[in-house]
Amino acid sequence: MGRFAVLLAFVGACSCNNNAHPDAQIDVPPEGAPVVFMGEYVDFLSQTTKFCGILNAKWTLHGQPAITDMTNPNGRVSLTLPARPRWQFDITPPTAGSECTMPTGQTYNVPGIAIVDAAVVAANGEYSSRAYSTTVAPMFNFQATRAQVLIHVDGTPRAVSITAAHDPPLSFTDAAGWAAASSDTGENVLFPNVDPAAGMTMVSVTGGATGEGMIPIVAGTFTYLSVIAN
């Protein structure tokens, strides 16, 4: 699997306490400094041995349509952002499938919401998100009236939970792919068919993680969040 670190670009820096984890000292940009975000958007079945980025997906900063980028063939996305505690991106899947869709020749049609936490950016965490093609979606029992939540865990995998009702979670590791049985611990954890009625759900990681918190949930849409496990 391709791994793209979340990077910072700024003039000058300070060493400040992370409010969520007061014992951790991390470098953060000065207040108001622009931030360069880099992440990846890849096929749901992508692994290092059969990597597949999603080409020409549109990432747009929510409420600011001028701040947008199209993913490269390897799924990489890069945007310069105004300083904020968190950013939300609206993801429009490509109109044509990438050449390496699994199976080949498929398209993607589930839009996404990417929530990026500034503390994860400051800690140089990886931001990784995935989408499934139209053929693969039924394998995960995709229901258009429900929300889909995908959490990427940077660092040692730990159990992940959300407060909204959902189908049994599934986990992914690069070595083994998606687990055949229900699991809440992996490099990626999928919460399928989440009840979107509340409009928001709380994400928690056993032992704590940078970036955990409330995220939006919308019917027929993926919500992505990357965290760094303690």
Q: Name the amino acid, one letter, at 31.
A: E
What does the pLDDT read at residue 16?
Answer: 38
Q: Is the peptide bond before 22 cis (omega within 30 degrees of 0)?
A: no
Q: List Cβ neighbours of 23 (8 Å cut-off, separation of 6 or more).
A: none
Q: Name the amino acid, one letter, at 183.
A: S
Structure-token pair, residue 45:
């079945």
Question: What is the DSSP code string of 128-163?
Answer: EEEE--TTTGGGGT--TTSEEEEEEEESS--BEEES
- Alpha carbons 201 and 217: distance in angstroms, whole number: 7
Q: How many CB atoms lie within 10 A of CB 147?
A: 27
What does the pLDDT read at residue 30?
Answer: 55
Enumerate the domain spans of the chain. 14-229
What does the pLDDT read at residue 12?
Answer: 36
What does the pLDDT read at residue 10?
Answer: 32
What does the pLDDT read at residue 8?
Answer: 36
What is the separation, in whole angstroms, between the first and last Cα of the chain?
A: 23
Q: What is the mean pLDDT of each run of 10 residues along the chain (230 residues)?
A: 40 37 44 89 95 95 97 96 97 87 84 97 95 94 98 96 98 97 98 98 98 98 97
Beta bridge partners of 149: 191, 223
Residue 110: closest CA among 97, 122, 121, 119? 97
- Alpha carbons 173 and 179: distance in angstroms, whole number: 8
- Alpha carbons 166 and 142: distance in angstroms, whole number: 12
- Alpha carbons 129 and 134: distance in angstroms, whole number: 17
Please answer whether residues 27 and 15 qualify as being in contact, where contact means their C-beta atoms are separated by less than 8 angstroms.
yes
